Structure formats: C-alpha cells, structure tokens
Structure 1
Amino acid sequence: MKTQVAIIGAGPAGLMLGHLLRAEGVDCVVLERQTPDYVLGRIRAGVLEQITVSLMERLGLDARLKAEGLVEAGFNLADGERLIRIDCEALTGKTVVVYGQTEITRDLMNAAPARGLEVIYGVADVALHDIESDAPYVTYTKGGAAQRIDVRFIAGCDGFHGPSRKAIPASVAREFERVYPFGWLGILVDVPPCHSELIYANHEHGFALASMRSKTRSRYYIDVPLTEKVEDWPDERIWDELAIRLGPEPAANITRGRSIEKSIAPLRSYVFEPMRHGNMLLCGDAAHIVPPTGAKGLNLAASDVHYAAEALTAFFRRGEADGIAGYSAKALARVWKSERFSWSLTKLMHRFPEDGPFERAMQVAELEYIASSRAAQTSIAENYVGLPV
C-alpha cells in the first residue's frame, strides 16, 4: 500500500488529524492496535478549549457537541470552607465546553467512512522505518499477515506507550518528567452534578474534583496514595470522603449513586523533545503528558493536530516545507505553557507528602491572593480556557 501520510493511533488526535488532511485532499491511512469498541471504552476527560471546539466546527462534526455539550462560563477553587469562582467568560470573553472525549472520538469515528478516511483497526507489530529519509514506511501485521505502507510522512498519535516516539534515536531525544506521589481515584455515576460548574478542592484530607459529563452524569475524583487499591474504596467510602473534601455547599447538593466505572489513574508531567524527527511528527500523548488538573490533555493534542495539519497541508498542496521544519518548536511552545499551568494548579490544590507547614502556608496565601485579585483570576482564566494557538 502507498499513501501520503500514515497516522499511527485512532484516538481523537489521530482521527482528527486524518479528517483534517482528507478535508484538504491529502491521502492518509490511520492504523490502530485496538478494536473500535475498545477505543470507545476508554474513559477520559471532556473539558474542551476553543481550539478543540473550533476544529470540530471546521470539520462540520459539531452537531452533537452543540446539542449535548455544556457551556461552562467558569469554574471554582475550594479550600474546604468556600468556593472561589473564576469567571472565565467575564475575565477573558471565552468559555469551555463539557463534552466527553469518548463522544469526540465517536463523532470522528462515525464520520470516517463517508469522508474517505481509512482506519485499519486490530493491527499488531507496528514498526516505523527510515523516518530520516524521504521515503519512510510502516510495517504491521493484520490477521497474521505482514503488511507495509510506503509514505512521505508519518504522524505518531499513538499515546505514551506506542512505537512512534521510540523510533526517534536516543542521541537526539530529551525527556522531562515529574511523577506525582498520588493518583486520582475516579468514579463515573449517573446522577446530576452537585454544582453547575467544576470544583477543584484543596482540603486537609486531600484533593477532590467535582465534574460532569452531562446534566445527568457526574464524574468525581479524590487523590489517594499510589499504594491504594480500587477494591479498598467502596462507593459509600468515596461519597463520604467527597462530602468532606468538597466543603459544605457542594456536599449539600451531592446526589449519591452507584458507580458505573471506577479506577485509579497515576499522575505525571512529561515532555519529549523534539516532536519532529526526519519525516515523523508526534502529536498528543506520544510527546507529552499533563496531570488532569486543568484538563489540558485532549486540548494539547488538538493544538498539536492543528499545527501538524497546517504543516502537512502546506507541504502537499504548495510544496512548502517550513511548516514541517518548524512544527516541533511551534507545538512545544504551547506544550510547555500548558505543562506549567497544569503543574502549578496541581501544586496549589494537592497536599504533597513531602510538604511541611511552610508549603501549606504558601497554598493558603496563594488561594487568598486569588480570591482577592482580579489579575490573578484573569491569569488562571486565560490558561484554563486555552492560550492562543
């Protein structure tokens, strides 16, 4: 098989890139290790910045997003006693939309056949070859048979554990990582949210987050040590802890219910440089991971895809190579700013085991400053709704 671009990974980044390229007449094929049902079974966040919404609008795939998405004008920081509201719309003129990452993936997946986007699911042994040449190729197996795709470019959208990043030689790679000493225990439950906007809470018992997927489906989190097991946390124990950590006002509005999904996710900050080597570009989790505090993961992937689609389209339609050459620097400039915001919000809202009275006093002082300063709230709001692309 021969095509112009091979996209590794059929999550939202890979599918979105594929749709953007096909809309511009660029030929591409998407390869995915898992089945469609498995991909759709991944439970992920769903707070969308304008870049993600605008890409779905550009593709004409935003009908369900507009019908079902919840427009959020702001969010809240809680310190156990009060809510500090960050009015993003008033401070920046922008909002975010709550719409599950699974639903974004479903919209992109369902539209692929009609738009000529070929997605090959259930592939194995994916390997990238000659990425430093002008004739790279990808090999894989499907149903036990060996396959090869000859391409001009490869886009690695295959997540943290995929083969794309590993194809970049160690001699040119730089990795930056911060592993956090806790995980987020999350539950998904079909009950109304306890508040109309997200709440990030800092309490002496630990962190909590109240979020939603719709007006009838809620997503809650608490941080727990990495040694904890899901089976040690029956639903009632989680509800009791949420009621304490979120504070009196949200607790009074919690509707308890039986969880339909429960898991513990470790937290890390990670950046890989460069995001381009030869004729292979990395997008999304293949190049960077952010802690979920601030909901930047999917949105960073969307901005990567925006830059990658621009660069690849310019190359194939106008013969311009500057976008390819500058892709890594442009993408990383936004990545590092989002990493900073996610890291700073994580530090502000969590109690770290190594922290003492001084660090706690700094958190209290920072929250007091945010509560009383429009400038501080504006800075947080600008980062939360998404920095310019």
Structure 2
Amino acid sequence: MSLRDKIDNFKKPFAKGEKYEKWAPAVNALDTFLFVPNHTTKKGAHIRDGVDLKRTMITVVIALLPALIYGMYNTGYQHNIQTGEATDFMTCFLFGLWKILPMIVVSYGVGLGIEFAFAIYRGHEVNEGYLVTGLLIPMIMPVDIPLWMVAIAVVFAVVIGKEAFGGTGMNILNPALTARAFAFFAYPTFMSGTKVWVADAINVDAISGETILGKLAAGNAAGYDMWSMFAGSIPGSVAETSTLWILVGAAILILTGVGSWRIMLGGVIGASIMGLIFNAFHVNALMEFPWYGHLMIGGFAFGLVFMATDPVSAAQTTTGKWIYGILVGLFCIMIRVFNPAYPEGVMMAILLLNVFAPTIDHYVVQSSVNRRKKRLAAKQLKTT
C-alpha cells in the first residue's frame, strides 16, 4: 500500500459528517505538507500556476538555510575564540547547533500548536505561513535567550500579531518582528547589552560580546575590519551577522520571484542616502561610520531581505514597493543614529512601514487613477 493510500485511509474518520470531523484541519495539514493539494478553482478567473503557498514558504525556508547554517557556526566561533577552544568549522557548528536547535523546536512547537488550535476552532485549514515565521523568530534572537521567553514571544506574535487579525494573509505587522519587539520591550536585559550576543557570556565573566553598533553607540571604534563585517564573524543575533550568506538567500528569493528586488534595492538606496548625509557631519561615531558599513552591520541586511519583503505586510504596488523600501532604509539609519538606547533601527523601521504600507499603496493607486482621469478629460476635450 502506498503512502497516499495509507493517508487516505487514516483520514476517513475525519471526513465531513464522520465522528472526528472537527479535527479534520489538523489531519489535512499533514496531507498538504506531504502532497500538493488537489483543490481546484470552481468558478471565476483561473490562474494556471504550479506555485501554491506551501511551495512559496518552502522556497523562503531554503533561502534562510545559508544564513542559519553560518549562524550556527558563528555562534560556536564567537564562544570558542574567547574561551580558547578549537575554532574549526565542525566544532563550532556543532556547538551552535546544540544552542540554536532547541530554540527552533520551541518556536515551531508552540507556534504550530496555536495555529492548529485556531484552525480547529474556526474550522478552516492550517496555513503554511508559520513555516517561515517559526524559523525566523529564533534566527533574530540572541543565542542565550531563555526558551520560555521564546515561547511567550511566539504566543504573542501568533495570537496578537496574526490570528487577532484573521490569520495568515490578514496581519498588518510581520509576525517574526512582532515577536522580537515583544521580547525586546518585555525582557530588555535579555535582548540588549554586551552579554547576550555570545553564548554563555552571561555566566562567564571572561566572555564579552558587544556588537559593533553597541560600540559605536558608546562612542568607540567598531573594532572589526570590513571583511569580518561582510562575512559575519562578529557578535550579533543568531543568523543576522553574515551579509554574504544573506545575499545568497536574497538571490534565491529574487530568482524564484518570491522576494521583491524593488524593496531590497530601495532599502539599500534609502540607507545609503541617509548614511551619506550623516557622514557629512562629525557629531558621533555612528554618524562618522562609513555609509557602506551600515549596510553590513546589525540586522539591516537580514531584515531587508527576509522581513521587509513579506508579501502580506509590505507594499503591494510596484511604485509603492520602491517608496516602502527606500523609507525602510532611511528610517533604519535614522533610528540607529538618533536613538542611543537602541542603535539597531531595522526592526522599528520595518514595523513602522508595515503600518503605513496600505496608505502608501492607496496614494499610489489614487495617483494613477487621477492621471488616467486627466488623460481621459484631455482626450475628450480634443474630440470636442
């Protein structure tokens, strides 16, 4: 008997009108995870395309893997280089895997549990959107954040950030960034400072993990060369440090048509412009830091590629994507420089633009309508 036949037999008690009909969404989720759904459009316009939500989400997960694998290695490298232990790839990677895997398990376990509960309660199918969110949340957290804090942040992100708005496709804020924002304001001592970015730094006095942005905000030199910043061998959140591997993920998203290159390029343009403006002044270390350096430190690259391009919470129109991306870059650098208590900036910038994305699209569409009305009026005037 094939796997398809076994699943079909298993699903019979959960069919409509059967004893366990209420639990059908949970069982169907397993089916759609293993096989392409066989749903077809019954009426209206038909779009012939082999891409569904599951394939889109899996593509994003694949694009995240290079940054995640390097993040696991860098987690071990940052710890071992200070403790004097071996820094070969496999030793560092296994150390990082041991630290990060529990965060991923908790994120998926708690998040998917809530998704299944809401699907059963509302009587709809389980959406695949959390496949990406569940991986993004641990990737943007400090490595030693307690697992119970990760769980609470996930609950807040899924319940308040998504399900309260109607579920996948209805949320106005990026769920992963919502989780990080909640953790940052609820548990600030575990989300900032010099002891949270390197594994075991809280428990071992000899280990310190101050980030480049933290050093610059304190008025000190960055302490790393540009190659280290680009490659990612610096302290930071789990998978945000390597611009190199984030660019590999960006290439996957762009080539598959999943991520918007307009938002990515717009963000780089906006951040570069604001960085160049600040470079003209010599007020503090953050202003003097080279504009191109801002593109490689902190969570700018990761946030721009994997969260600013979220098709649900980002701008939808072509012109709107350019405006949205440029404003994300502008506000990111602006927040970094003007907010010494939080020198990162990208999280706040993206969440702020998530709120204004519908407004941006509204005025873009309205501008197009007004232009067409003027062309029509001019054409009618000529004919008369």
**TM-score of the pair, normalised by structure 2:** 0.25
Which structure features the higher share of helix residues? 2
Report which structure shows greater RCO (CA 8 Å, sep ≥6). Answer: 1
Higher-Rg member (1/2): 2
Which structure features the higher share of strand residues? 1
**TM-score of the pair, normalised by structure 1:** 0.25
